[in-house]
Structure 1
Amino acid sequence: MSVSPLIWSLTIAGILAVIAADLFLIHRNDTREFTTRRAAFWSGIYIGLAVLFGIGVWAFAGGRYAGEYFGGFVTEKSLSVDNLFVFMVILTRFAVPRHAQHTVLMAGIVIALVLRGLFIAVGAAAIATFTWVFFIFGAFLIWTAIGLVRGGDEDEFKENGLLRWAKRVIPTSDDYDGARFLTRESGRRVVTPMAIVMIAIGSTDVLFALDSIPAIFGLTTEPYLVFTANAFALMGLVQLYFLLGGLTDRLVYLAHGLAFILGFIGVKLILHALHEYGAGWAPEIPIWLSLAVIAGTLAATTVASLAVGPKRSKDAKAAEGSEQDAAAAREG
């Protein structure tokens, strides 16, 4: 797939224009809470833009590349849902006011988009030069999938080195000043906690890229498609955060579904590497099969989660009630 520098420039300019519109026109730095209704509307707009872009790829580059783009976009979007758990923990931990959450999430995502672009450039260069990189990516995805199945502290937020450094060296106020990143305190200019949260969101999202970028390279090796799929998935992440809200705790099988998808793509990468090294017995998995596996897994995971989630919630409440009754009986 040949993409001219002009197309790259126009695409990046378009993405930046959409982000600017979101920050300065849609949100307008007002103090209104970003309601579920607003989130649903703008989520639909962002998904519509992503679909329109995919149709454009189909029209100008053909069905194969359009399939790779859509496969990458769906994969990145589904992985981003799992990331929302950590975002919720971050915003809660830093006590970000609800009316300011849209701004800080959007700013953090802009940082993540820039850093992911650098990550994609390095990954694309490595893949173009060294075929064995597919083995590393594939093995890493399979390892990540095993970790998701085993479970862990996916809801736990741990401060990374960049965030610890920022909190240590940057003068920060104790209180928020609306949605501002800078304020005055004792006659000097300091950053507000909003700026620290923005760094936390952006740097944490880059850590998530360690599994999502190799995953999308398993579906397409075209840097242009990898970047645009990531961009559209990230741009709609803020709206997805407010739209899902309390729904994320009902997606009880999401981690298992993502684990299956990452494991499948990991195997696909290893088979592709073996094929490149002349192993005739190693099949090349077509993009239509990858799309079918991804879509089918997500559909089954969502249906099963929504069916079981309410029951688990009732069981949890019943168990909590039993514990309270037992505690009351002991006190009595």
Structure 2
Amino acid sequence: MVDLLYADWLGKPVWMWLGFHALIAALLAFDLGLLHRDKEHEIGVKESLLLTAFYFTLGVAFGGFIWWEFGRQSGEEYITGLVVEKSLSMDNVFVIAMILTGLGIPRAAQHRVLLWGILAAVILRGLMIGLGSALVHQVHWILTLFAAFLIYAGAKILFSGEEEHGDFGNSPTVRWFKRTFRVTPDLHGSRFTVRQTDPKTGRKALWFTPLALALVLVNGADVIFAVDSVPAIFAITTDTFVVYTSNIFAILGLRALYFALAAMVDRFAYLKTALAFILIFIGLKIVVADTFGLFDIPPWVSLVVTLVLLTGGVLYSLWRTRGQAGAVPAPPPAERQASAHRV
């Protein structure tokens, strides 16, 4: 049994993978079982910021373990990956806010959608990272393809003038879901499904609520978000354990981050421009260092560039939207099309 725990799996001993998943399971149980036993609990901005700080601190602390166990380079790659994934998560938060607002989901019920959305995201992200790891280690030129995609995605955010009005209540996905399944017109507390009479047959049948519809859209948004996110982290490191753990810690704080950013979404109109530059930089890093082998860019340089771009985007947005609290400013071209890029 001891030998099995120390056996290699995806480049790391089995005990390390088991220990990480035990930690994640404990955090989810703590969040669900202790912090939010009240299904109708509405998370305020203060609580959201505290939870965000809690999860981010844990993520950084785990990075300290990576640094201690595997050395400075692995530690720097993990921290860089965590910051990049957390930065890109902000983009996803804005899309989720538009989905829940468009479907009329009250704040008291939103945290339940986000919790189950996070659970699904952890599973889906694990599958996508596993596939990405297999491709990267078997077909090395796939990194160049990732780089091209990241540069394209960043350029599309910067230069596309396509508008998105965020009418999720009448989107093709919503119309298909309502045609295919029974959906109640109103919410039923925090329930995803109810049993009630079908007027067509006169018999009791299973109905989905608008909360279930919101969960489908949120999970769909995360899948599309991961198309950018997973190549971005593999562009920083190909160590599967570092990729996976930094990604999952970034996701865990997403629900807490949502309630803080959603209340101030109008103040971050220019943040997506910074995220676009981050994607382009990471893509160019692969082209320069891996594809052409011109010179290597250390992980700490990637971390510094990411932090500078992210901080600059946040500060510039806050400066440009000063005095506009309560009014949504006219977004720049990158903002108008960013939702279409994601969902």
TM-score category, normalised to shorter length = 0.7 to 0.9
Q: What amino acid does structure 2 have at the position aligned with 1:262?
A: L
Q: Summarize deviations over 1:290-310 as a string: whole Å, max 9, x none.
A: 111111111222222211221
In structure 1, the partner of 2:183 is 172
| Residues 239 and 13 of structure 1, relative CA distance in 2, 3 Å threshold | same
* TM-aligned CA distance change 1:73 to 1:100, over 3 Å: same
**Residue in structure 1 matched with residue 315 of structure 2 by the alignment:** 303
Indicate the residue corresponding to 2:134 in structure 1: 125
Are the equivalent residues in 1 in contact too, given 2:39–2:112 (CA < 8 A)?
Answer: no
**Aligned counterparts of 1:260 and 1:157: Cα–Cα separation in 2:** 27
Q: For 2:79, what is the secondary structure of its paired residue?
A: helix
Residues of 2 paired with 1:248 and 1:57: CA distance? 34
**1:184, CA displacement in angstroms?**
2.1
Residue identity opposite 2:154 in structure 1? A
Deviation at 1:33, TM superposition (A): 1.4
- CA drift of 1:241 comes to 0.9
Are 1:230 and 2:230 counterparts? no
Instruction: Give CA deviations for 1:266-321 in whole Å, capped at 9, x if unaligned.
Output: 0111223324xxx5xx1111111111111111122222221122167799889xxx
Please tell me the residue identity of whatever aligns with 1:252.
A
Give unpaired runs (5+ residues) of structure 1. Answer: 319-332
Task: Map 1:90-129 onto structure 2 (within 5 A).
Answer: 90-129=99-138
Identical aligned residues as a percent:
37
Runs of at least 4 residues off by over 3 Å: 151-170, 311-318
1:30 aligns with 2:39: yes
> In structure 2, what is the Cα distance between the partners aligned to 1:315 and 1:173?
33
Whether contact under 8 Å (2:237, 2:243) holds in the other structure is yes
CA contact (8 A) 1:162 1:203 kept: no
Question: Separation in 2 of the partners of 1:52 and 1:26?
Answer: 21
Q: Show the 5 A alignment for 1:190-205.
A: 190-205=207-222
Normalised to the residue count of structure 2, the TM-score between the two structures is 0.84
2:148 and 2:283 in contact (8 A); partners too? yes
Alpha-carbon distance, 1:189 to partner: 3.2
Which segment drifts farther, 205-214 or 306-315?
306-315
Distance 1:133 1:75 in 2: 20
Per the TM alignment, residue 163 of structure 1 is displaced from its structure 2 partner at its CA by: 6.5
Residue 191 of structure 1 deviates from its aligned partner by 2.5
2:92 alignment partner, one of 83, 87, 93: 83
Matched, 1:181 2:192: yes
Match of 1:183, SS? strand
- Equivalenced residue count is 313
User: Separation in 2 of the partners of 1:129 and 1:68?
Assistant: 21
Which residue, out of 4, 8, 14, partners 1:5? Answer: 14
Counterpart residue number, 2:57: 48
CA distance in 2 between counterparts of 1:109 and 1:157 reads 23
**SS class of match (1:190):** strand
Secondary structure of the residue aligned to 1:218 is helix
- 1:99-133 CA distance string (max 9 Å, x none): 01001011112112211111111111111111211
The CA distance in 2 between the partners of 1:221 and 1:84, in whole Å, is: 26
Distance 1:79 1:126, change over 3 A: same
Query: Which is further off, 48-57 or 11-20?
Result: 11-20
Question: Structure 2 counterpart of 1:37, which letter?
Answer: K
Please list every run of 5 or more consecutive structure 2 residues that lacks an aligned counterpart in the other structure: 1-9, 198-203, 331-343
The residue that corresponds to 2:259 in the other structure is 242
- Indicate the residue corresponding to 1:71 in structure 2: 80
Give the structure 1 partner of residue 276 of structure 2.
259
Partner of 2:238: 221
Q: Can you list the C-alpha shifts for 1:191-232, whole angstroms capped at 9, x where unaligned?
A: 322122111111211101111111111111111111111111
CA spacing shift, 1:154–1:272, aligned 2, 3 Å: farther
CA RMSD of aligned residues (A): 2.5
SS in 1 for 2:236: coil
Residue in 1 that maps onto 2:299: 287
Once residues 327 and 185 of structure 2 are traced to their aligned partners in structure 1, the CA distance between those partners, rounded to angstroms, is: 41
In structure 1, the residue matched to 2:154 is: 145
| Cα pair distance change 1:238/1:154, threshold 3 Å | farther
Instruction: Give TM-score scaled by structure 1 length.
Output: 0.86
Q: 1:116 to 1:314 in 2, by over 3 A?
A: closer
What SS does structure 1 have at the residue aligned with 2:321? helix
Residues 183, 123 of structure 1: alpha-carbon distance in 2 compared, 3 angstrom cutoff: same
Specify the code of the residue in structure 2 equivalent to 1:170: F
Separation of aligned partners in 1, 2:126 and 2:68? 25
Q: Secondary structure at the match of 2:238?
A: coil
- Amino acid paired to 2:109: A
